């Protein structure tokens, strides 16, 4: 079993941000694409999130890990992007990606409460564990687990209907 | 949990393990916009748990930027600004100047005056941004702004008599203008409730377009005022469900600050509202001053509407007007799901298109594999230089404006990009990492001969 990594002292320098960007870009992008539904918009969101991170690195107060802070910035960029956009009705269910596979599960994801959907995406597409998700959202580990269970149950129900 | 649910979720969104982003562009955009009023102020304070509160908060850390990092950022900005500048012909003079003179390198946004005699730039030597000017030979550096607030993003008026810039001297970012000698500073926007940025002169110098950001706050799915959010956060009521953000609009005003008008209009029913973002793309006036290109939109300056350009044009589409203002060349990526990753450094294949200035008549000019991007019109409008990875690495190509006669000019295993024509159309500048060094500026004749480094030769 892997030893838990010691918590790094977070200074919030641009070099630290660069390290995280280079190591985890594909995960940031996948999370953004899951939220925004288009690869190009996902790229733009990740780009914008890190531009903002550099520009506001002075606002990083060390209250959380730097990576958690970056995930929150990306989450906010995606959320603002979604809310700013007036989405045509027929696209309301397309919270996932641009391809039209699995329309039922996409509709189910789109209908999840925002918190459940965010936890789901952070777990599956950002590949964060419960502790990390809790740090990003500022909620307890147990709350993360309960939220994720609820989201899974709803999706399972939809998938069950699809299978039958 | 159900493996079936996991497997479906896995299929819904592809993995992007072969993508590594473009850190250089992130740094360049952040550096070039260091004056931007922190479009994002702080993430939602969702970590306000008891454990988080016990950690020691760090203080404002912008000063942690070491001088060396500033130099790297500034050099990137210098090179980028030079090579996209229409005044390329004197760009090599500035580069040689930077090499040969003990000019402080912690500068940003150098801009030549229209007559080529003066360079303005932003220096952070005093810890806050100041707009400086110096003679073209590097002599007589002078601080034009002289204010403890941040003064950045100088933009010459087309006649070279005035300089627009962004200043926080009145508490928040506003668009200012001053005479070329630094006298007569005037706040043009005068809006304490919003942050203004990206001043861009129309070609006749009579108007200035800019981006205005207004702060918003959303909690529990409802939009409210930032002040209410702050009060509620202070009272601990909104700890886990609040975030702050800016919404941006495109504005235009007369050069004296009068007649400010919002140009970001709601598009025809069924299409999204115009998206304006601080990093959403270039703000470019058409040569006739009737249209502004911004992000994915062509915006009529008379306020009659905005038109969303077809297809998925990301912020990296780099549209460019033809010299006569009648056409626009731009880059459009092919859908990832259709094509898979590209052969080299640009993961998604893309092509160069050209359309009429009213958005009609879109034609694809490149049809080869790879990532074709960064179109640059020759001064006579007959040719387009561009970057392509069709042969496995980034090379500079050129083609006729109708897409015919495409040929590789650089033919080098290094990564070559950012083509920029000299005003006389005889040379093309570009950036390359050839020689295994960092990105450097190079130049060649328009037929690809005589390739040499601008920044390394003679050093």
Task: Among 3.40.50.11540, 3.40.640.10, 2.120.10.30, 2.40.50.140, name the CATH number for the domain at B25-45+65-211+250-271.
Answer: 2.120.10.30
In a domain, A5, yes or no: no
Q: In this predicted model, what pLDDT tens digit does every residue of B351-386 receive, in sequence order? A: 898 988 777 888 999 988 788 888 989 989 999 999
Could you tell me the residue ranges of all domains in chain B?
25-45+65-211+250-271, 309-459
The domain boundary residue, chosen from A87, A111, A141: A87
Give φ, ψ of B279 to 5 degrees.
-115, 25
Range of the domain at A81: 10-87
The reply to whether A110 and A160 lie within a common domain is yes
CA–CA dist A17, A14 (Å, integer):
5
The reply to whether A40 and A76 lie within a common domain is yes
Q: Give B 68-127 residues with CB within 8 A of chain A.
A: 69
Conformational region of residue A119, where left means phi above 0, alpha means psi within -120 to 50, and beta covers everything else? alpha
Q: At what angle do helices A114-124 and A14-36 cross, to 10 degrees?
A: 120
Q: Give the CATH number, domain containing residue A146.
A: 1.10.10.10
CA–CA dist B314, B295 (Å, integer):
8
| Residue pairs spanning A and B at CB distance below 8 A | 217
Task: Please state the pTM of the whole predicted model.
Answer: 0.51
The reply to whether A71 and A116 lie within a common domain is no
The reply to whether A18 and A77 lie within a common domain is yes
Suggest the residue from B2, B4, B5 to mutate for an interface test with chain A (most A CBs closer than 10 A).
B5
| B46/A139 Cβ within 8 A | yes
Number of H helices, E strands in chain B: 7, 29
| B31: nearest CA partner in chain A | A55
| Residue in the block written with tokens 């800016």 | B246
Q: Give the CATH number, domain containing residue A68.
A: 1.10.1740
The reply to whether A136 and A159 lie within a common domain is yes
Cβ of residue A77 closer than 8 Å to a chain B Cβ: yes
In a domain, A58, yes or no: yes
CA–CA dist B298, B131 (Å, integer):
31
In a domain, A66, yes or no: yes
In 3D space, the residue among B108, B83, B71, B149 whose CA is nearest the CA of residue A14 turns out to be B71
CA distance A100 to chain B (A): 9
Q: Could you tell me which CATH class the domain B309-459 is placed in? A: mainly beta
Give the largest CA-CA distance in chain A. Answer: 54
In a domain, A108, yes or no: yes
The reply to whether A34 and A83 lie within a common domain is yes
**pLDDT tens digits, chain A, 164 residues: what are they?**
343 333 333 456 788 888 899 889 989 999 998 888 777 788 889 999 998 888 887 777 666 688 888 999 999 898 887 766 543 322 222 222 333 345 556 667 877 888 888 999 999 899 888 888 998 988 888 889 889 888 888 887 766 544 32
The reply to whether A107 and A54 lie within a common domain is no
Domains: count for chain A: 2
Question: Hey, do B25-45+65-211+250-271 and B309-459 end up sharing a CATH topology, with the first three levels equal?
Answer: yes
Between the alpha carbon of residue B86 and those of residues A105, B108, B114, B397, B448, the distances in Å are 51, 18, 10, 19, 20
The domain boundary residue, chosen from A87, A115, A133: A87
Q: In this predicted model, what pLDDT tens digit does every residue of B180-235 receive, in sequence order? A: 999 999 999 998 888 888 899 998 999 999 988 777 665 555 566 667 666 766 66
The domain boundary residue, chosen from A30, A54, A87: A87
ipTM: 0.83
| B272/A96 Cβ within 8 A | no
CA distance A110 to chain B (A): 13
Share in percent of chain B as helix, strand, coil (round to 5): 15, 35, 50
Which of B17, B21, B46 faces A138 most closely, judged by CB atoms? B46
| A64/B4 Cβ within 8 A | no
């Amino acid at each position: 079993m892997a030893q838990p990594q010691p918590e790094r002292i977070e200074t919030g320098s641009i070099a630290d941000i660069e390290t995280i960007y280079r190591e985890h870009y594909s995960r940031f992008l996948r999370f953004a694409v899951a939220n925004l539904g288009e690869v190009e918009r996902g790229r733009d969101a990740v780009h914008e999130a890190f531009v903002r991170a550099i520009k506001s690195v002075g606002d990083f107060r060390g209250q959380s890990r730097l990576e958690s802070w970056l995930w929150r910035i990306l989450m906010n960029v995606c959320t603002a992007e979604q809310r700013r956009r007036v989405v045509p009705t027929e696209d309301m269910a397309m919270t996932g990606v641009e391809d039209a596979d699995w329309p039922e599960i996409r509709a189910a994801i789109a209908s999840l409460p925002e918190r459940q959907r965010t936890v789901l995406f952070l777990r599956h597409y950002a590949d964060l564990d419960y502790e990390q998700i809790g740090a990003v959202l500022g909620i307890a580990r147990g709350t993360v687990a309960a939220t994720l269970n609820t989201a899974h149950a709803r999706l399972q129900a939809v998938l069950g209907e699809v299978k039958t | 949990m159900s493996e079936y649910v996991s497997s479906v979720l896995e299929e819904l969104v592809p993995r992007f393990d072969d993508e590594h982003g473009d850190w250089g562009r992130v740094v360049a955009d952040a550096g070039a916009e260091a004056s931007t009023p922190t479009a994002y102020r702080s993430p939602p304070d969702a970590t306000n748990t008891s454990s988080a509160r016990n950690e020691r908060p760090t203080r404002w850390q912008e000063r942690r930027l070491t001088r060396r990092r500033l130099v790297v950022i500034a050099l990137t900005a210098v090179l980028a600004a030079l090579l996209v500048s229409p005044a390329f012909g004197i760009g090599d003079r500035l580069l040689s100047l930077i090499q040969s003179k003990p000019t402080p390198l912690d500068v940003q946004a150098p801009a030549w005056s229209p007559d080529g005699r003066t360079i303005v730039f932003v220096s952070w030597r005093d810890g806050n941004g100041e707009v400086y000017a110096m003679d073209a030979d590097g002599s007589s550096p002078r601080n034009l702004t002289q204010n403890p607030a941040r003064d950045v993003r100088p933009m010459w008026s087309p006649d070279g008599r005035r300089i627009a810039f962004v200043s926080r001297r009145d508490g928040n970012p506003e668009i200012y203008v001053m005479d070329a000698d630094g006298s007569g500073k005037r706040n043009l926007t005068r809006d304490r409730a919003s942050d203004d940025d990206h001043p861009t002169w129309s070609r006749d110098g009579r108007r200035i377009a800019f981006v205005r950001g207004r702060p918003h706050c959303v909690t529990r799915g409802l939009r409210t005022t930032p002040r209410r959010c702050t009060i509620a956060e202070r009272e601990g009521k909104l700890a886990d469900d609040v975030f702050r953000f800016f919404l941006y609009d495109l504005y235009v005003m007369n050069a004296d600050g009068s007649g400010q008008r919002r140009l970001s209009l709601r598009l025809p029913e069924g299409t999204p509202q115009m998206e304006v973002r601080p990093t959403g793309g270039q703000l470019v006036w058409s040569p006739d001053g009737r249209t502004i290109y911004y992000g994915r939109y062509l915006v009529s300056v008379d306020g009659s509407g905005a038109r969303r350009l077809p297809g998925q044009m990301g912020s990296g589409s780099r549209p460019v007007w033809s010299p006569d203002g009648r056409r626009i060349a731009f880059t459009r990526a092919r859908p990832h799901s259709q094509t898979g990753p590209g052969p080299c450094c640009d993961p998604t294949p893309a092509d160069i298109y050209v359309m009429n200035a009213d958005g009609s008549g879109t034609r694809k000019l490149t049809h080869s594999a790879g990532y074709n991007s960064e179109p640059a019109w020759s001064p006579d409008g007959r040719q387009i230089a561009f970057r392509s990875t069709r042969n496995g690495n980034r090379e500079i190509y050129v083609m006729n404006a109708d897409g015919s006669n495409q040929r590789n000019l650089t033919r080098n295993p290094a990564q070559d990009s950012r083509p920029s024509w000299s005003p006389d159309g005889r040379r093309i500048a570009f950036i390359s990492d050839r020689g295994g060094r960092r990105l450097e500026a190079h130049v060649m004749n328009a037929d690809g001969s005589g390739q040499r480094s601008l920044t390394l030769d003679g050093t």
